[in-house]
């Protein structure tokens, strides 16, 4: 019996020693940046092995590059261009592109067509953020609108998709970054990383809590000030936060701002008073599709949509400096610039 007790205490002691040894290793930040998906990317993780941490981030960037090769309209051999160049026929695409297209179709339905992955012709025509950006003639917009119709995007089992009309074009710019952030999150999780921040051009995903156990505080960009100026702060851990804003890609002509979020009904950049819409939810691809959808739907319909969705919150900013919050945001968001004011909305819609 005495022997057993001795052995028992030895095991406990060993366990305690190994735990203490683990604790004594300090976790430091490892961070790296890249330019892909048409934007600046930054990944920061906290780890006790710097070399391994750097490798993990490199692997994340490799994965993002793979996603870009499949989904970019600017890469000739991408899945998206295969579908676009073979309108009229079903085209088999990768599992990645299938997941994103399926989600895109889901959000088209949820947003009653505000989010429309067949927006490609209009995106190309406006060319916002490219050398070719211009205000198109009304006749050109009317022509492009004939090629924007989500009902003509068909899918079959086995990862096959078809555009029913020649000349139609898919564009996944409103959702692909979200998918990339989700994939990065999975890589980090699988590698045992417990604390991190993924920032893909403003698509932010926080992994776990801060290294000291505290909740992350994420700044919400002031849409009227230079990048990096927050107008408020949200507190969340282990969530995706995605913003769509009229300041991200735009040009100004005759004092009018033309930005990159296009209303598929009119063919023009959305003008409904919103200047940014932020979504906070569990997965980045959902947040990404929803931030674009809510921007297009407008304050009332956008809030109604978000109130119906589980674990999903939003912060909408309008050009009159009003901030419209979903009901679950009320205690989680703080304004830091008092030229903005929170607008109270009826909460009866919350399910």
Binding interface with ligand AMP (CB under 6 A): 115-117, 119, 123, 171, 173-174, 244, 248, 260-262, 264, 288, 291-292, 296
- Between 227 and 346, name the residue whose CB sits nearer to ligand AMP: 227
Please, what is the minimum distance in Å from the beta carbon of residue 243 to Mg ion? 9
Please, what is the minimum distance in Å from the beta carbon of residue 255 to ligand AMP? 22
Please, what is the minimum distance in Å from the beta carbon of residue 212 to ligand AMP? 32
- Between 4 and 35, name the residue whose CB sits nearer to ligand AMP: 35
Q: Residue 324: which of Mg ion, ligand AMP, none does it interact with, CB under 5 to 8 A by kind?
A: none
Q: Residue 196: which of Mg ion, ligand AMP, none does it interact with, CB under 5 to 8 A by kind?
A: none
Q: Residue 171: which of ligand AMP, Mg ion, none does it interact with, CB under 5 to 8 A by kind?
A: ligand AMP
User: What are the CA-CA distances from residue 92 to residues 61, 147, 165, 173 (Å)?
Assistant: 25, 22, 17, 20
Instruction: Find all residues with CB under 8 Å of 54, minimum gap 6, and list them.
Output: 30, 32
Between CA 83 and CA 15 the distance in angstroms is 57
For position 174 contacting Mg ion by CB under 5 A, the verdict is: yes
Between CA 107 and CA 115 the distance in angstroms is 6
- Between 79 and 193, name the residue whose CB sits nearer to ligand AMP: 79
Other beta carbons within 10 Å of 151: 10
What tokens does 89 get? 């026929």
- Between 208 and 298, name the residue whose CB sits nearer to ligand AMP: 298
Instruction: Find all residues with CB under 8 Å of 191, minimum gap 6, and list them.
Output: 56
Please, what is the minimum distance in Å from the beta carbon of residue 289 to Mg ion? 6
Q: Residue 248: which of Mg ion, ligand AMP, none does it interact with, CB under 5 to 8 A by kind?
A: ligand AMP
Please, what is the minimum distance in Å from the beta carbon of residue 231 to ligand AMP? 18
Between CA 19 and CA 78 the distance in angstroms is 48
Q: Residue 302: which of Mg ion, ligand AMP, none does it interact with, CB under 5 to 8 A by kind?
A: none
- Between 98 and 277, name the residue whose CB sits nearer to ligand AMP: 277
Looking at residues 281 to 310 of the shown chain, list those that interact with Mg ion (rule: CB under 5 A): 288, 291-292
Other beta carbons within 10 Å of 103: 21
Q: Residue 84: which of Mg ion, ligand AMP, none does it interact with, CB under 5 to 8 A by kind?
A: none
**240-245 β-sheet, strand order:** 28-36, 39-47, 196-200, 203-207, 240-245, 274-281, 313-318, 322-325, 341-343
Phi, psi values for residue 113, rounded to 5°: 85, 5
Pairing of strands 333-335, 250-253: unpaired
Please, what is the minimum distance in Å from the beta carbon of residue 234 to ligand AMP? 18
Q: Residue 173: which of ligand AMP, Mg ion, none does it interact with, CB under 5 to 8 A by kind?
A: ligand AMP
- Between 101 and 261, name the residue whose CB sits nearer to ligand AMP: 261
Instruction: Find all residues with CB under 8 Å of 194, minimum gap 6, and list them.
Output: 46, 207, 208
Pairing of strands 160-163, 333-335: unpaired
Q: Residue 123: which of ligand AMP, Mg ion, none does it interact with, CB under 5 to 8 A by kind?
A: ligand AMP
Q: Cβ-closest residue to Mg ion?
A: 292
Can you state the angle between helices 284-297 and 176-190, rounded to 10 degrees? 160
Q: Which residues bind Mg ion (CB under 5 A)?
A: 174, 288, 291-292
């Amino acid at each position: 019996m005495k022997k057993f007790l001795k052995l028992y205490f030895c095991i406990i002691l060993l366990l305690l020693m190994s735990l203490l040894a683990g604790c004594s290793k300090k976790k430091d930040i490892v961070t790296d940046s890249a330019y892909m998906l048409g934007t600046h990317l930054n990944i920061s993780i906290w780890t006790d092995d710097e070399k391994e941490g750097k490798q993990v981030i490199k692997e994340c960037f490799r994965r993002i590059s793979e996603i870009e090769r499949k989904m970019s309209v600017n890469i000739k051999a991408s899945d998206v261009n295969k579908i676009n160049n073979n309108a009229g026929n079903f085209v088999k695409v990768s599992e990645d592109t299938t997941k994103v297209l399926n989600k895109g179709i889901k959000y088209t339905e949820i947003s009653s067509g505000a989010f429309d992955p067949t927006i490609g012709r209009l995106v190309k025509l406006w060319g916002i953020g490219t050398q070719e950006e211009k205000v198109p003639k009304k006749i050109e917009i009317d022509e492009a609108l004939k090629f924007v119709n989500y009902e003509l995007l068909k899918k079959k089992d086995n990862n096959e998709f078809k555009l029913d009309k020649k000349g139609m074009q898919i564009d996944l710019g409103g959702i692909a970054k979200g998918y990339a952030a989700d994939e990065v999150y999975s890589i980090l999780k699988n590698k045992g990383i417990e604390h991190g921040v993924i920032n893909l051009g403003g698509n932010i995903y926080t992994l776990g809590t801060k290294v000291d156990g505290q909740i992350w505080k994420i700044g919400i960009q002031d849409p009227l000030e230079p990048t990096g100026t927050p107008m408020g702060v949200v507190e969340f851990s282990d969530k995706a936060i995605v913003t769509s804003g009229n300041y991200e890609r735009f040009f100004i002509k005759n004092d009018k701002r033309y930005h990159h979020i296009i209303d598929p009904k009119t063919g023009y950049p959305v003008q409904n008073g919103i200047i940014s819409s932020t979504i906070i939810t569990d997965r980045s691809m959902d947040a990404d599709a929803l931030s674009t959808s809510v921007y297009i739907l407008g304050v009332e319909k956008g809030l109604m949509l978000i109130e119906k969705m589980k674990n999903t919150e939003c912060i909408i900013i309008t050009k009159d400096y009003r901030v419209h919050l979903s009901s679950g945001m009320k205690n989680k968001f703080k304004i830091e610039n008092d030229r903005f004011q929170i607008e109270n909305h009826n909460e009866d819609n919350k399910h």
